[in-house]
Amino acid sequence: MLFKLPILLGLLGTVAAQSDATPALDERAAGTATVVLPLATVLGNVMNKVESFGGIPFAEPPVGRLRLKPPQRIARNLGTFDATGPAAACPQMVSSSESDNFLFDVLGEIANLPFVQKPPVGRLRLKPPQRIARNLGTFDATGPAAACPQMVSSSESENFLFNLLGDIANLPFVQKVTGQTEDCLSITVARPEGTKADAKLPVLYWIFGGGFELGWSSMHDGTGLIKHGVDLKKPFIFVAVNYRVAGFGFMPGKEILADGSSNLGLLDQRMGIEWVADNIASFGGDPSKVTIWGESAGAISVFDQMALYDGDNTYKGKPLFRGAIMNSGSMVPADPVDCPKGQAVYDLVVKEAGCAGQADTLNCLRDLPYQTFLKAVTAPPGILSYNSVALSYLPRPDGKVLTQSPDVLAATGKYAAVPMIIGNQEDEGTLFGLFQPNLTTTDRFVDYLQQLFFNSATKAQLTTLVNTYDNGVAAVLAGSPHRTALLNEIFPGFKRRAAVLGDLVFTLTRRAFLSLTKAAHPDVPAWSYLATYNYGTPILGTFHGSDLLQIFPGFKRRAAVLGDLVFTLTRRAFLSLTKAAHPDVPAWSYLATYNYGTPILGTFHGSDILQVFYGVLPNYASRQIRTYYTNFVHDLDPNVGAAAQYPSWPRWDQGKKLINFLANRAGGLLDDNFRSDSYDFIASNVGAFYI
């Protein structure tokens, strides 16, 4: 849940920073920046030497019969468009309507009252995005973009504190200020002040994370990154995309597959990149120099964008991007859209919506009032629940957009082979191991993994995997948060569980991914890292806010298992797969440990975003990461221009080394061979770990 704290705090910060009334367009336009596009004149604002344009629409509103449909490009003229305010948020999965938590349910109901959300119009709900084809006129883009509807947490959760934080995010006045609406498919652009149309600056395209359940483009401010680039004399343009999340953007089921309306969130992201190709030159950007970047679900989305349409990333005959950065995420092996688990999610939504028994349940969902549909899509378990990262909503193979499971596409080289940076937090799984205090034995943990995560895996396979993380005291010593000896085992099995989950979904999957891609495209460079800057934080490892988690016993083993399963060891597997598929394509990898010592969380999943976007502590790690990333955006090599200040970062295939991000000094290099027994088993049995 704590990986969502920045989101929740961002919501509250937005409320505190913005008044109820929005200033008139002519009032906000004073001193603004203006960009003329083929289909709109866009107004933005200027602050701190950065020009920002928020919430520029790139697709028709996905409401009504366009709900649960692919996006439709806007082809009309929008006239003068006010982009001086925030971009609207897409609908979020704030809580699950199946929760037994009274406060969570009450606040969730309040959040979904009609006056809180804009009612859906048209018939674009649950359909692919439709490109805007009309002229937008002069568009006011001086404020942040509104968010699409969110699934901040699942009402399946029974944890009072977690539910309360989620409920606050759904209070009517919070949602009103953030402008959460289905009409949310927009782009936010930020550039150095004074950038001319002919500047041809490289572009960094940001895809937010949030477990495919929540998030929006305005929750991360690119201003600090842009100013750092200017200070390095390497200016660039920052672009953030809004895409549909939860059931609005990733609904599974055979009905969705037959309708051609799967993976809508990925299609939204792709249409946003196409918008950049069509329009970024007007902002002074170079459409041939785009790097796509994401964290967590956003990082997973980055590889999905690389693998979309079997790796065809061309648009109008030209590549849409030339580089990729993945923070804490890579490939997620997944069963098809119409798999039994996915179908169960669809059927539950249909039941909760009152559409069961209808001849056409999908169109029934599209025709529902917005509040009814929002409540129905939050019925399945969310990430802030016992199910944790056994996600209800995520990208799944559909035979067209994602033709096969991402691990297969990586292994066969069916992806756009571009230079990439990919890495992990040291303790990816600690957050996700907090929700299962009852999993105190190996048998219980194995049953949990088999029933909720990996239906195709045998009990023997899962038992073998879990046992690679040892048992008893040895499991505590080896668990996550890592390198903390007997500390942080807040309840039996926590540290092992955190290690397994973090490795399977993130860390060791990254390693497998690099191995696969290196084999497929050996000449394409990749760099990798591990962040450890919060080392020493009790329970969580590289993380902050540990005081909230002291009440959760059994945490350390679970955190280790979850972290490895979901992130760390998955990262290793991902690298192995991509290296095999494209051995010529470079990749760099890392492991961050800058939060080592942070109670409970350690260097937790998502803590790197605080460093990169906000430089929460103006420390060595934040400056180092920003410099490496800026160099990569400009030159497709993190080392160009950094040699005098920071260590040389070798490509991952040059000895399988990770750069280690420490808080206040250079961390040197790490061998990417930790937890090798666990990695070998995962890499040899990838087919058993389809979610």
- Quick one: three-class SS letters along 163-177? HHHHHHHCCHHHHHH
Residue 199 banded pLDDT, cuts 50, 70, 90: very high
pLDDT of residue 91: 84
- Structure tokens that stand for 572 in this block: 């290793």
Residue 674 banded pLDDT, cuts 50, 70, 90: very high
pLDDT of residue 575: 77
458-475 pLDDT, tens per residue?
A: 999 999 999 999 999 999
Residue 439 has pLDDT above 90, yes or no: yes
pLDDT of residue 246: 95
Mean pLDDT, range 354-375, rounded to an integer: 93
Cα distances (Å, whole numbers) of residue 60 to 75, 262, 271, 365: 9, 18, 11, 19
Contact 565, 505 (CB under 8 A): yes
For residues 259 and 222, the model is more confident at 259
Mean pLDDT, range 433-446, rounded to an integer: 93
- 481: cis peptide before it, omega within 30°? yes
599-633 pLDDT, tens per residue?
A: 556 777 667 766 666 655 567 888 888 899 999 99
| % of residues, the chain, pLDDT over 90 | 57
Q: Which fold has domain 421-689?
A: Rossmann fold (3.40.50)
Lowest mean pLDDT among 40-54, 317-331, 332-346: 40-54
In the chain, where the domains are located? 2-295, 421-689
506-542 pLDDT, tens per residue?
A: 999 999 999 999 999 999 999 999 988 778 777 777 7
For residues 233 and 149, the model is more confident at 233
| % of residues, the chain, pLDDT over 70 | 77
Contacts of 631 (CB under 8 A, 6+ apart): 232, 234, 637, 638, 639, 640, 641, 642
Residue 572 banded pLDDT, cuts 50, 70, 90: confident
Residue with tokens 């390497």: 234
Residue 105 has pLDDT above 80, yes or no: no
Residue 20 banded pLDDT, cuts 50, 70, 90: very low
Residue 558 has pLDDT above 50, yes or no: no
Cα distances (Å, whole numbers) of residue 174 to 14, 111, 688: 8, 9, 42
pLDDT of residue 93: 80
How many angstroms separate the CA atoms of 409 and 395, rounded?
14
Active site (catalytic) residues: 296
Mean pLDDT computed over every residue of the chain:
83
Contact 392, 382 (CB under 8 A): yes
Query: How far is it between the farthest Cα atoms of the chain?
Result: 68
Contact 39, 76 (CB under 8 A): yes
Residue 497 has pLDDT above 90, yes or no: yes
Mean pLDDT, range 271-282, rounded to an integer: 97
Contact 72, 125 (CB under 8 A): no
pLDDT of residue 177: 55
Lowest mean pLDDT among 37-41, 112-116, 386-390: 112-116
Contact 27, 171 (CB under 8 A): no
Contacts of 618 (CB under 8 A, 6+ apart): none
pLDDT of residue 600: 58
pLDDT of residue 223: 86
DSSP 426-461: TBTTTGGGTT-TT--SHHHHHHHIIIII-TTS-HHH
Global confidence as pTM: 0.83
Residue 212 has pLDDT above 80, yes or no: yes
Residue 579 banded pLDDT, cuts 50, 70, 90: confident
Residue 96 banded pLDDT, cuts 50, 70, 90: low
Mean pLDDT, range 432-450, rounded to an integer: 94
pLDDT of residue 104: 39
How many angstroms separate the CA atoms of 285 and 201, rounded?
5
How many angstroms separate the CA atoms of 129 and 243, rounded?
10
How many angstroms separate the CA atoms of 586 and 308, rounded?
20
Lowest mean pLDDT among 53-62, 111-120, 465-474, 669-678: 111-120
pLDDT of residue 547: 21
pLDDT of residue 36: 94
Distance of CA 47 to the CA centre of its chain: 27
| Residue count of the chain | 691
Give CA angle at 555 (622, 509), nearest 5°.
55
For residues 224 and 248, the model is more confident at 248
Lowest mean pLDDT among 123-137, 205-219, 272-286: 123-137
Residue 136 banded pLDDT, cuts 50, 70, 90: low
Rg (CA), the chain: 23
Residue 551 has pLDDT above 60, yes or no: no
Mean pLDDT comparison of 52-61, 132-141, 244-253, 382-391, highest-scoring range? 244-253
pLDDT of residue 15: 39
Mean pLDDT, range 158-171, rounded to an integer: 50
DSSP-derived pairing of the beta strands 587-597 and 420-425: parallel
How many angstroms separate the CA atoms of 219 and 7, rounded?
7
How many angstroms separate the CA atoms of 657 and 638, rounded?
15
pLDDT of residue 28: 43
Residue 84 banded pLDDT, cuts 50, 70, 90: confident
pLDDT of residue 35: 94
Residue 72 has pLDDT above 70, yes or no: yes
Torsion of CA 562, 563, 567, 571, to 10 degrees: -120
pLDDT of residue 121: 40
Lowest mean pLDDT among 66-75, 94-103, 302-311: 94-103
386-412 pLDDT, tens per residue?
A: 999 999 999 999 999 999 999 999 999
How many angstroms separate the CA atoms of 648 and 668, rounded?
9
Residue 11 banded pLDDT, cuts 50, 70, 90: very low
pLDDT of residue 592: 76
Count CB neighbours of 17 within 10 A. 10
